[in-house]
Structure 1
C-alpha cells in the first residue's frame, strides 16, 4: 500500500479567503513580519502582536474549507494506504474539511501557549497582554504559533514520515521557508515520487519530478481523483 505524505502551505487556503504574507491588501500587508511574527516583535510590543493574531483568529473562524481541503480528506478516507497531511498553515480548514491527524508544524491559531511553563490551552477569541496561564498563572500567554526564528513543531515525526513516503506532494507552498522547503529533498532521498501543485512555480520547483499549476480548488481534486481512480 502506497504511503502518501502531503505538505500544504498558504496557497491551499487562499481560495477560502485567507491571505498569505505575500498578498497585497491583506492583514499581513499592514504590518512588518519582524513586528508581528517574531519573538523579538512580541517582546517589543505584545499588544500589537495579540491584536494581529486576534484579527487572524476571527478571519480563520469565518473561513470555510474549499474543494482542495475536501479532496485531501477524501484521499485520506478512500486511499488504501496511509495519507499523512503536514501543514504550514495555522488555520483549521483541513480538519473542517474532514481531514484527520493533521500535523501542524507551525502551530494553530486556535491554541495558546505559556511562554513561562510551556502549557498549552485553547485560545480565547481575544488574547491580550498579560494573558494568564491557567496552570502557572503567569502572564505569559501567547499565540501557539511558530514565529520566524523558532523551530517548527513535530519535526522528528515529519522526517520519519518523509523517510517512509512513496509519494510526496507539496501543495500551495512558496518554497522559500525552511525547513519545509527541504522536505522534497528528504522525500526524494527516500525514493519517493514528488509532485508540486501550485498556482505558480515555487522556489524549489526544479526539485520535483512532476508539477501541476493552477488554483488549488481545481488541481487538487483532479489529482486526487486520478490517484483514487488509478488505485481502483
Structure 2
C-alpha cells in the first residue's frame, strides 16, 4: 500500500480490521481443458462438459503440433463462437482476420491504451493467407496469438463479479468455426503435405478465486478452511 501513499492512520485501520475478522485475498486461476475432437474439412464443431466457477474469460489456443507448448498461430477461421449456459461469446460471429477481431483482442488483452502489441502478436493476427502452391513463412515466431473472449463486463474491482458460474455443476461448452481458406490453402487443417492434421484446440478458463485468511496471534494470519467466500463478503456487501 506504500505505493498509494497511504497514511499511517489508514494503515493502522486496515491492520485493525484484518486482526478482527476473516479477510479475502482475490486471485486468478487458469484451468486448461483440451476439446475432445479436432478440426475437419468443414471446420470445427466440438464441445465438452466442464464445471464453471467464477469464469471471467475464455482463452483459445490452436497448436499446429502436439508437442507445441508456446507457439500458437492464428488458425484463420470465420463464424467463430463459443456457446455455453445459453450465452454466446462473442455476441457476434467472428472472423479471425478482420479488423473488428483485431480490435477486440487488443481490448481483451488490455493493450489498446497504454500498452503496445508485440510484433509477434501483430504478425500472428495479420499474416498473409496461404496459396495452393506455397505456404507463407511467418516474419517472426508466432508465440503471441491467444484468442481471449471476455465473459464479464469491466467492473470496478475484483469483488464485483458478473461472469459465468454454474455452482461447480458440469455444463456444455461448444466451439464452432468454419475455415476461411478451403482445400489446400487451409493450412490449419493441412499442417503439411503429408496428411498431418492439427491437434485438438485448447480451451483455457480464467477464474476469479479467493483465498480466505483468519487472524492469528502476533498479528499474523492463517489460511481459513472453515468459512466460505459468501459468508465473509456477505456482511460487507449487504
The interval holding the TM-score normalised by the smaller chain is under 0.3
**Max Rg structure:** 2
Normalised to the residue count of structure 2, the TM-score between the two structures is: 0.26
Comparing both structures, which one devotes a greater share of its residues to strand?
Answer: 2
Comparing both structures, which one devotes a greater share of its residues to helix?
Answer: 1
The higher relative CO (CA closer than 8 Å, separation ≥ 6) is in 2
Normalised to the residue count of structure 1, the TM-score between the two structures is: 0.27
